[in-house]
Amino acid sequence: MSTEGVDPRFAGLDAGSALDIVTMMHAADADVNAAVGRALPAIAGAIEVVAERLRAGGRLVYVGAGTSGRLATLDATECGPTFSTSPGLVRAILAGGPDALTRSVEGAEDDTAAAAADLAAAGIGAADAVVGIAASGCTPYVLAAVAAARAAGATTIGLSCNAPAPLLDAVDVPIAVVTGPEVLAGSTRLKAGTAQKLVLNMLSTGTMVRLGKVHGNRMVDVAVTNTKLRARAVGIVSDLAGVPAPDAGRLLDAADLDVRTAVLMSLDDLDAPEARRRLLHAGGRLRDAMRLPQWPGTLNSDPSTVLNPAPVVVVCSDDPSSPSPSPSPSPSPSPSLSPSPSPSGPDRAASRPQRR
């Protein structure tokens, strides 16, 4: 395995100054971007597969041990506040359970029986996409988890920093990001870990872009859960709707803190329920909702279902009692649109700020 090799460029690591050490590490990290670049077509293919699974009501489930599993947990956790993903839509299964987040759990990565049990407890099925992550490409826990996922009918993706590797042969969509020997030989939390984080960034972000949770390069489905994120949301509404920040704040409040709804309210002079219905009809995609004719009418769906402000759920492997929600597919709006009169009321008044 190349990740276990020894790079002679760094044989003097222990004899160098602090500046020498970081200079060597920086030089080694140059390998990472090139390795990820060579894998871009495979990563893009994985994004399309995952987006298709999520559109069909499935989940994105990461599986890993050690550094790989911790990085997966981080990525899954961040999807909630960044993209307002519903509970359980993106989740991570970490070998060794919660304790493995903060300390090494001996033998966890070799426990194949635990992997099969963890996948069964998570309720993995044909609608899901399961991503096995292993720098070596041969971690027994990850291989067993991928095998269990395939047996359950799930689509499988494998991320390895070695090629060839058993993991790449065991999945539907293999991603090989070959980073080579580490500056500290064998320490795959370094280059390999950095490469894994870059790929996970692309996989989750690319999927959410394909699902319509981004407009331009703005996070229009951000969960407004603190002062910083409120300021960000107000700024997005202000920029996209072309209104001053105070008006953007009032729109955001009238829209129950949903950026997309607030933008539509301002641009097309809609009240909040009408804007939500338009978003629902457009599958949650703001760009498509902005193209719909004025006053799309009443749709036979609950407009609240277009909003998913809850945080993501992270399930660790030694907690089989954790619930495994099975998200329902996005509701299908009625294909017929009936013109309706312009609404009126307090929400409507709030949606008429002075444009700048």
d(CA 254, CA 250): 6
Q: Could you tell me the CATH number of the domain that includes residue 242?
A: 1.10.8.1080
Q: Do residue 179 and residue 232 come from a single domain?
A: no
Render pLDDT for 289-317 as a digit per residue (tens, 0 to 9).
998 765 434 333 344 443 443 334 444 54
Domain that holds residue 105: 2-210
Q: Do residue 181 and residue 295 come from a single domain?
A: no
- At which residue do the structure tokens 């013109």 appear? 339
Torsional sign, CA 100, 104, 110, 113: negative
Q: Could you tell me the CATH number of the domain that includes residue 85?
A: 3.40.50.10490
Q: Do residue 188 and residue 59 come from a single domain?
A: yes
Q: Do residue 293 and residue 234 come from a single domain?
A: yes
d(CA 204, CA 5): 30
Residue 123 falls within a domain, yes or no?
yes
Q: Do residue 48 and residue 133 come from a single domain?
A: yes
Which residue among the candidates 4, 48, 109, 274 is catalytic per the annotation? Answer: 109
Which residue among the candidates 48, 78, 182, 274 is catalytic per the annotation? Answer: 78
Contact status, residue 279 vs residue 264, Cβ threshold 8 Å:
yes
Residue 313 falls within a domain, yes or no?
no
Residue 314 DSSP class: -
Final residue belonging to a domain, choices 210, 235, 252? 210
Residue 177 falls within a domain, yes or no?
yes
Helix (H) or strand (E) holding 131: strand 129-134
Q: Do residue 18 and residue 160 come from a single domain?
A: yes
> Could you tell me how many residues make up the chain?
356
Q: Do residue 145 and residue 271 come from a single domain?
A: no
**Angle, to 10 degrees, between the axis of helix 18-38 and the axis of helix 40-55?**
70
The values of phi and psi at residue 46, to 5°, are: -65, -40
Q: Strand, coil or helix: what is 91?
A: strand
Active site residue 52: no
Sheet harboring 90-94: ordered strands across? 90-94, 60-64, 129-134, 155-160, 173-176
Low-confidence spans in the chain with pLDDT less than 70: 293-356
Active site residue 109: yes
pLDDT of residue 294: 53
pTM for the structure as a whole: 0.81
pLDDT of residue 292: 75
Q: How many domains does the chain have?
A: 2
- Count of C-beta atoms within a 10 Å radius of residue 66: 24
Q: Enumerate the H helices of 84-215 as residue ranges.
A: 112-121, 140-151, 166-169, 191-210
Render pLDDT for 175-204 as a digit per residue (tens, 0 to 9).
999 999 999 999 999 999 999 999 999 999
